[in-house]
Structure 1
């Protein structure tokens, strides 16, 4: 059959599938960097104290994008076009999740409700990112080509997730609890659908590149749908709970650099 490790090893061993994987990852991180940069610039006066943390979040995402580009360069690869069906950020926006790019392009201050929407969206998507990086680090944290990058990105994603918990809890204590819970619920329910669709699209492209036999591709698609079934019934709950993080003020201070990659 197949395992997460064996599947990713196949993708890693083939230049074309590895190029697509890194290109998708780099594009998503770059979009996240731009979004956070714009949000930091547009925060309302009542929440301007968040600006350094939001900017740090954006700087980390930009760094991750550069790391994935550097990983491609090490193999002599250049980025490829990201297929539309694999664009996680764009598909979430189309479902009305997070702050629309049109809003972020305007030079109009955001509202406190907008900031809650941003943080709730980030709390859900950073949970996904942290889970994925934990899995990759488990299997490839000691890999000579990928290990250092995976560990660095995983640590940043854990910090981002802790930051979302911390800031949402502060806003809940300030009286926004019901709005936060509604935003988290709506985002989580949409995200699990988008994640399923993106996973199916990515695996379809990888299967064609790697020439997977039809039974293997069908079994993998069935596994992705089974995960979605679990998340639709119960797994989404892990994305909407808020707990005081062990890492306090995780985005305080400047972003860390990654000179060995960039």
Structure 2
């Protein structure tokens, strides 16, 4: 029977597919760490109070990258090259979502609009990350090899999402509500398309590595397209709603390191 659990288990059990999975995850997290580090350094004077939280966000992402690389080392595996069609962060940037890397490489301070763009982009992508880690925690939270890492990353992603909600609501209360909603909607619609494309690319690679029959690959591709159709119709709305989180000041505490 084809299920999400059996699919993940098949990927984890094979060294080559596991290597690709961890490499893609490590690359994306490292990129997120760099982006947040640059944003923390470039915040405008009026938003400098956010610097410790943005820096903490970046430090968490760097930590996640190290965790996935450590999981590879435990199996004696080296990181694999990430195919361009599976590079989630790069594809989002190409669609104009988030802050361009050219902007982040300059020494010029960001604008208030840039900060809103960053938070809206993060709110959408952290929704995806939180949901994906929750799914992995459901299936592998007690796994002796992966469990501790997955539980820690899942907790961090929930904190990141809570932080985005809280800070965007602060901006909304300051009169930026319409701008925030427009930005969130654009980010969400672009993200679901990129997620579809990346999912198809990754499943294609996994299918070739694992020798899946054409029928199995076709069923998985159909499922990805069906998920996109749902998200394009209505599912994107969960990515743009804002509510005060139960976890207040989620990035104000001390980060937890992974040994």
TM-score by length of 1: 0.98
Q: Which sections of structure 1, spanning at least 5 residues, go unmatched?
A: none
Report the Cα distance in structure 2 between the residues aligned to 1:190 and 1:221, rounded to whole angstroms: 19
Q: Which residue in the other structure is 1:127 paired with?
A: 127
Q: Which residue in the other structure is 1:69 paired with?
A: 69
Report the Cα distance in structure 1 between the residues aligned to 2:229 and 2:146, rounded to whole angstroms: 31
Tell me the secondary structure at the aligned position of residue 241 of structure 2.
coil
Superposed CA offset, 1:71-108 (max 9, x none): 00000000010000000000000000000000000000
Report the Cα distance in structure 2 between the residues aligned to 1:49 and 1:178, rounded to whole angstroms: 23
Q: Which residue in the other structure is 1:226 paired with?
A: 226
Superposed CA offset, 1:179-223 (max 9, x none): 100000000000000000000000000000000000000000000
Q: Does 1:40 align with 2:40?
A: yes
Report the Cα distance in structure 2 between the residues aligned to 1:83 and 1:238, rounded to whole angstroms: 29
TM-score by length of 2: 0.99
Deviation (angstroms), 1:257: 1.0
Q: Does 1:81 align with 2:81?
A: yes
Report the Cα distance in structure 1 between the residues aligned to 2:138 and 2:253, rounded to whole angstroms: 28
Report the Cα distance in structure 2 between the residues aligned to 1:210 and 1:172, rounded to whole angstroms: 48
Q: Which sections of structure 2, spanning at least 5 residues, go unmatched?
A: none
Q: Equivalent residues in 2 for 1:134-149 (5 A)?
A: 134-149=134-149
Deviation (angstroms), 1:171: 0.4
Q: Which residue in the other structure is 1:177 paired with?
A: 177
How well do the aligned residues superpose, as a CA RMSD in angstroms?
A: 0.5
Q: Which residue in the other structure is 2:187 paired with?
A: 187
Report the Cα distance in structure 2 between the residues aligned to 1:50 and 1:100, rounded to whole angstroms: 20
Q: Does 1:112 align with 2:122?
A: no
Query: Which portions of structure 1, spanning 4 or more consecutive aligned residues, are displaced by more than 2 angstroms?
Result: none
Report the Cα distance in structure 1 between the residues aligned to 2:257 and 2:142, rounded to whole angstroms: 20
Report the Cα distance in structure 2 between the residues aligned to 1:159 and 1:77, rounded to whole angstroms: 30
Tell me the secondary structure at the aligned position of residue 80 of structure 2.
coil
